[in-house]
Every structure is written in C-alpha cells, then in structure tokens.
Structure 1
Amino acid sequence: MKTKKGVLLINLGTPDSPKVADVRKYLDEFLMDGRVIDIGAFQRNLLVRGIIVPFRSPKTAKLYQAIWDQKTGSPLLHISEVQVALLRKELGESYQVELAMRYQKPSIEEALQRLKRAMVDSIQVIPLFPQYASASTGSVIEKVMKLVAGWHTFPRISIVNQFYDNELMIETFADNARKKQVENYDHVLFSFHGLPVRQLKDVDNTGTHNCDTAFCRTQITAENKFCYSAQCHETARLIAAKLGLNTAKYTVCFQSRLGKDPWVQPYTSDTLIELAGKGVKRLLVLCPAFVADCLETLYEVTEEYGQEFKKLGGEHVELVPSLNDHPKWIEALKQMVIAEEEVGAALTKRYTKKAEV
C-alpha cells in the first residue's frame, strides 16, 4: 500500500484583493490575534476594531494596490504558490505538499483537512519565518494545535520552529546580494521585521530576558537561543560572513513598528538618519525575516525607505530580492523535510523495537 507524507508550508497572509474591504478583513484577523497584539482581549478589541483597522485599512489598501500584479495578484501568495509547486516537484509523489496562510486564504484548516483526507502518515509543519517569534511562528503552532485537537486519529506531527542559521538559506541571500554587486554600495542594511520589546522578555525561564545583558547582538548562547533579536543578528552575521563584510560595513535594524510602546531597536528609520548623517549615499538592503517578497519588502523598503533616504541626502536604496524561487532555497526546504522524516523514522523504529521487547 502506497502512503504519503504530508508537508504544510505556512506564511503570514495577504488580503484577497487590494480593495479596502478585503484589506480591512485581513487586518482585523491579523491584529486581533492575541500573540500579535498581546494585551487583554477587551482592550485589543477596542484598539484594533475601534482605531487601528478603520484608520489603517484605506492607507494600507493603497500600499497593496501599488504592489498588486494584475495577472498574479498578491506577490506573497503568488511566490508562495511557486515555492510549493517547486517543492512538490523536488519531493516527488510520495509527499503531499500544501500551502496555507496564518491569516485569510488559503486557510490552515482547509490545508489540514486535505492532508487528513489523504490519510498521510505524517504532517510536517514549516512556518515560513526563519527566526522564531511568538507573534509569527508561535501563532502558527498554536493555530495548528487548536485545529487538530479535535481529531480522533493523528498522523505523526512535527514542526520546524526556526531555521535562522540554515546554510542554504544563508547562501541564497548571499547569492542574491552578490548579483547586486555589493562592492558598489557604501553600506549594507539587514532590515528585519520589528517586535515589541515586551514580547522578548519571555524567551527564557525567568521572564525577564534582556538583550543588553544577554549578548543578543553579538552571539547565540544557551540563554538567548530563543530570542528573536539574537536570531536576527546571527542570521545577519552569517550572511555578512559569506559576503566578506566587516562589522563597520553593515547594520542590523528593525522595521514596521506599531504604536508607542518600545520595539526592538535600532529602528530602520533612525538608522537611515544616522547613515545619511555620516555621508552614506548608496544603501543595499536585505530583509532576511522574509522568505518571499511582500508588502514589507517591495513597498516599505523600496518605496518608503527609498524616498526617506533621498530626502535625508542619500542617493539610492536597493533591495536584495528575498529567497523567492531560488533553487538553493527550494533545496533548503527539501532538506528540512527529509531531515525531519529521517528523525521521525528513526524514532518510530526505536519505539517499535522497544514494544517488541
């Protein structure tokens, strides 16, 4: 009897269209997630549905309209679909690969149901966020666990919860940067998605984690190994090493902050001001928190930061493409799947032998 192994790739999400109503629906689901805005449900409801969504939806819709493709639609969804198609081809018929978004469509519930109906032997969940954060990977894991909790039978379920130091992923970003001729730029920015500082305090058992005292900007340790900021800095160091960049040649910063509470610093906008003040004219920007180009890369970096930097006296901001459909990235996904299956097979064999004894 031929059986299949299930693979579920999950990215953040995208509205169904750049229309205000669809963007409003997407933002509502996204921002009402208690792991994204981690305050009380009543307060979150007032903040999101009373202030943020009504005011941000029209503005955000215009941003989506600027990057929306008339033929392929949402860049994030289209690129994700290409990644899945390429991975299916690489893995072959013994695997069933599905795509889902944490928010909106295609939904995690529908993807899991397809795998369940196929009676796969195992389901490997890969949240497409290289660095672990409660608001991204953690939210995906929680959602998957809630959905399968009511199942009466379970295939073996495993989760890849982080891959910030994956060798092939690092090489892919470096390859894409080399194509932009790194040597022709004054400085390189590694711009990661931002997080509120309060969400980093619970990455250790004390609940008082502090990046300043845990060496998060300089090394990965037993104390900071689950810290989003520490993982971001490690990703940047590894890519910089591949490109032969010394520490004076690049800066790690964080974008997309929301609200007045402090977020992980330095902020990308502040970094642009600092670099422009030092006479930097040409910037090359990598965004290694994203495996596919999306609103945050195609618009926020290319358009918003590009215009801001020019107003400050800079000349040019160039975005390095994300992993997208690069063959090494698809190979990285393939290796993650195979490695996890080998671990699962070894465990099954081990426990089967114990049962026989």
Structure 2
Amino acid sequence: MSKKGVLLVNLGTPDSPSTPDVRKYLNEFLMDGRVIDINVISRALLVRGIIVPFRAPKSAQLYREIWSDQDGSPLLYYSIKQQQLLQEKLGDEYMVELAMRYQSPSIESALQRLKDALVTEIRVIPLFPQYASASTGSVMEKVMTLVGQWQTIPHISFVNSFHNDDLMIDTFVANAAKHGHENYDHVLFSFHGLPQRQLIKCDHTGAYCLKKDDCCSTLNDTNKFCYSAQSHDTAKLIAAKMGLSKDQYTVCFQSRLGSDPWVQPYTSVVIEELAKQGKKRLLVFCPAFVADCLETVYEVSVEYNDEFKEKGGEHVQLVESLNDHPLFIESLERMVKER
C-alpha cells in the first residue's frame, strides 16, 4: 500500500560534545546564508576565522554539561521520541522521518528514504513554532533544492508556522502548571534572538518594521510573517490561558551573537532589571523550542539562574519544552492531516 510521507526537521546538534564535532556543527550552521546573512566571503572569514575557532571549545564544554551517556543530546533524544510517537499515532498509512537542518540525520538522507519508499506525498514540518528565514525558511529552501533535482517530484506541502496552535499552547500551559506560576514573582517568555536586520528584510512594505516601539505587539496582515510578532502572539496566547495580566509577564530574546543590534529586549537585561526591582523567583518559558536543548537546559536553567542570583534574585525556573508531551504529538498529527 502506498504511504504518505512526513518529514520532521529540527535545527541540529553536534554528533558528540567533542570540540571537533562541535566545530563541524558550528561551521555548517553558521555558514548558512540565511543564518548569517552577509556576503559569502565575509561570512567565511567571520565564521571560520573568528567565531568557530573561539566558540567551538567553549560550546563543547557546555554541551558536555547537558550530554547524557545514555541518551546523548537532549534535542536529538526528544526529536527521535517525537518521530516515534507521531509514527505510532499516524499508523501504517504514513511514513515519518526525522532530519536535522545541520548534521545528522541529514535532510538529504531522510528525503531519500521517503523517495525510496515511493511515498505519494511529503508533508514537511519544520519544528520551529514561529517562522524565521534563518530557521523555517532555511529548511524550506534546503528541501526544495534537494527535491528539485528529482525527476519525479511528489506533492509536497510545508507547515509555515504554528505559533498560535492551540494544542501547542495547551502543552506549555500544562508544563507550567507543574511549577505553579502563582509561586513566582514574574513570568518571562524568552525566545531565541535574531538580528534586527533579518526582521526588516521580512517587511516587504519597507515602512512598518521597527518604525515604532510596539510594531510587534499585535499580529496583523503586515507583520504576519514577522518572527518577533509571532513570538509576541505566542506569549500572549499562553499568558491568556494562564490568566496572566500584562504586568505579570515580559517577552524577551536570548542567545545574542555579535555586536549588531538584535531583537529586544534581551533576556539578560530583563533578568537584571527584575532583580533590581526586588523580584526573587522567575518562571521562564522558551516557546521557540519544541525540544529542550543547550539554550533551555543550560542557558536558562544555569547561566540565567546564576546571573539572577548574582543580582539578588533567588531562582529561575525553566518550564520544560514540548518534548514528548502527548498534547504536542496530537498537535503534530493534526498538522500532518490538515491542509
């Protein structure tokens, strides 16, 4: 019986926490023209000459902090669980493959397995709730480039974003309930950052993005593909489900790289300001990630927690990512079946 194909794609992870494997991963990741969107010669000089040589050893040390002898990278572990659970839920009518945009398993190998299975169609789900050129856009471009070389191209469809998916929102709310948000002084929605220039490039009108302070606060027809606007919308939906008022939470952005201005406010700055205000306990969501990873398990739970304590706070509590929660697997099933 002919099957329908499903391709789940996450960002990627080094094959091991060794410096050579981390260097290999960072080189592939940062040399993507959608990630560092400058001309290729300047990008190569920056990435291979400055960023990777200095960053790889430090990043390798951080990866060793979160790496499990049994399960390896948490991002890969939970991505595999998502693939397996979705396959079980969809049944024999579907073939579900997992790929990483960078490193293993590769998009090329996953697509080849679907091609060899003679699937009738392929549903591609980039595992990034909010659309960004550097994440979802990069996955789409890679898939189209590879499939464009095939002589026979099956029907292919993409999930552009799922920032407002109600089951995803419910999953985050359920995970937060384990910690009891009433026990915290403030809630942060910390999204992965992007350079401001990448937001501006997505404004096809050229007259809206960053032209006023609150341009991302409400999703509309002009900014509907804006990563920051979609992030604010995700936070607003989670906050509403939790019954939070506007003064009880803050949207911020983490993981800044380089000296160019990125989407603001920066999470580290917000944490410092909250500590100065006398806040003692913070509950932190990372809704740009569907699986716990270096940016959640270490950057938030360890680095931001330490920074907060140094400024007078007591504790930063991470809300677990979507991981293998049944509601999120149900959400993925719906994304596959809905058109």
**Shorter-chain TM-score tier:** over 0.9
1:273 CA displacement = 1.1
**Residue 192 and residue 285 in structure 1: after superposition, are their counterparts in 2 closer, same or farther (change >3 A)?**
same
Please give the residue correspondences for 1:291-306 in structure 2 after superposition, counting only pairs within 5 Å. 291-306=290-305
The residue that corresponds to 2:224 in the other structure is 225
The residue that corresponds to 2:59 in the other structure is 60
1:286 CA displacement = 0.3
The residue that corresponds to 2:150 in the other structure is 151
Count of residue correspondences: 339
CA offsets, 1:146-170, max 9 Å, x none? 1011100011000001000000000
Matched residue of 1:201: which SS? helix
The residue that corresponds to 1:344 in the other structure is none
Does 2:321 align with 1:322? yes
CA offsets, 1:31-72, max 9 Å, x none? 000000000100000000000000000000000000000001
Counterpart residue identity of residue 240, structure 1: A
On the 8 A contact 1:7/1:126 being kept in 2, the answer is yes
On the 8 A contact 1:32/1:44 being kept in 2, the answer is yes
1:334 CA displacement = 0.2
1:214 CA displacement = 8.3
Mapped to 1, the partners of 2:210 and 2:304 lie a distance apart of 26
Counterpart residue identity of residue 270, structure 2: T
Counterpart residue identity of residue 166, structure 1: D
Please give the residue correspondences for 1:112-261 in structure 2 after superposition, counting only pairs within 5 Å. 112-213=111-212, 215-261=214-260
Matched residue of 2:261: which SS? coil
1:210 CA displacement = 1.7
Mapped to 1, the partners of 2:215 and 2:243 lie a distance apart of 22
Mapped to 1, the partners of 2:266 and 2:244 lie a distance apart of 21
The residue that corresponds to 2:77 in the other structure is 78
Does 2:328 align with 1:333? no
Mapped to 2, the partners of 1:35 and 1:203 lie a distance apart of 12
On the 8 A contact 1:297/1:319 being kept in 2, the answer is yes
Mapped to 2, the partners of 1:65 and 1:101 lie a distance apart of 20
Counterpart residue identity of residue 74, structure 1: S
1:203 CA displacement = 1.8
Mapped to 2, the partners of 1:281 and 1:215 lie a distance apart of 28
1:187 CA displacement = 0.3
On the 8 A contact 1:72/1:78 being kept in 2, the answer is yes
1:219 CA displacement = 1.2
The residue that corresponds to 1:90 in the other structure is 89
Mapped to 1, the partners of 2:324 and 2:207 lie a distance apart of 39
Matched residue of 1:248: which SS? helix
Long gaps (5+) in structure 1: 341-357
**Residue 28 and residue 208 in structure 1: after superposition, are their counterparts in 2 closer, same or farther (change >3 A)?**
farther
1:22 CA displacement = 0.1
The residue that corresponds to 1:353 in the other structure is none
Counterpart residue identity of residue 161, structure 2: Q
Mapped to 2, the partners of 1:131 and 1:29 lie a distance apart of 22
On the 8 A contact 1:127/1:140 being kept in 2, the answer is yes
Q: What do you get for the CA RMSD once the two structures are aligned?
A: 0.9
**Residue 26 and residue 208 in structure 1: after superposition, are their counterparts in 2 closer, same or farther (change >3 A)?**
farther
Mapped to 2, the partners of 1:222 and 1:264 lie a distance apart of 20
After alignment, is 200-209 or 45-54 more displaced? 200-209
The residue that corresponds to 2:40 in the other structure is 41
On the 8 A contact 1:26/1:103 being kept in 2, the answer is yes
1:322 CA displacement = 0.3
The residue that corresponds to 2:308 in the other structure is 309
* Normalised TM-score (structure 2): 0.99
1:215 CA displacement = 4.4
Counterpart residue identity of residue 44, structure 1: R
Counterpart residue identity of residue 226, structure 2: C
Counterpart residue identity of residue 248, structure 1: D
Mapped to 2, the partners of 1:101 and 1:142 lie a distance apart of 14
Larger Rg: 1
On the 8 A contact 1:80/1:292 being kept in 2, the answer is yes
1:238 CA displacement = 0.1
Does 2:15 align with 1:16? yes
Long gaps (5+) in structure 2: none
On the 8 A contact 1:216/1:229 being kept in 2, the answer is no
Matched residue of 2:247: which SS? coil
On the 8 A contact 1:4/1:120 being kept in 2, the answer is yes
Matched residue of 2:156: which SS? strand
Mapped to 1, the partners of 2:106 and 2:230 lie a distance apart of 28
**Residue 258 and residue 208 in structure 1: after superposition, are their counterparts in 2 closer, same or farther (change >3 A)?**
farther
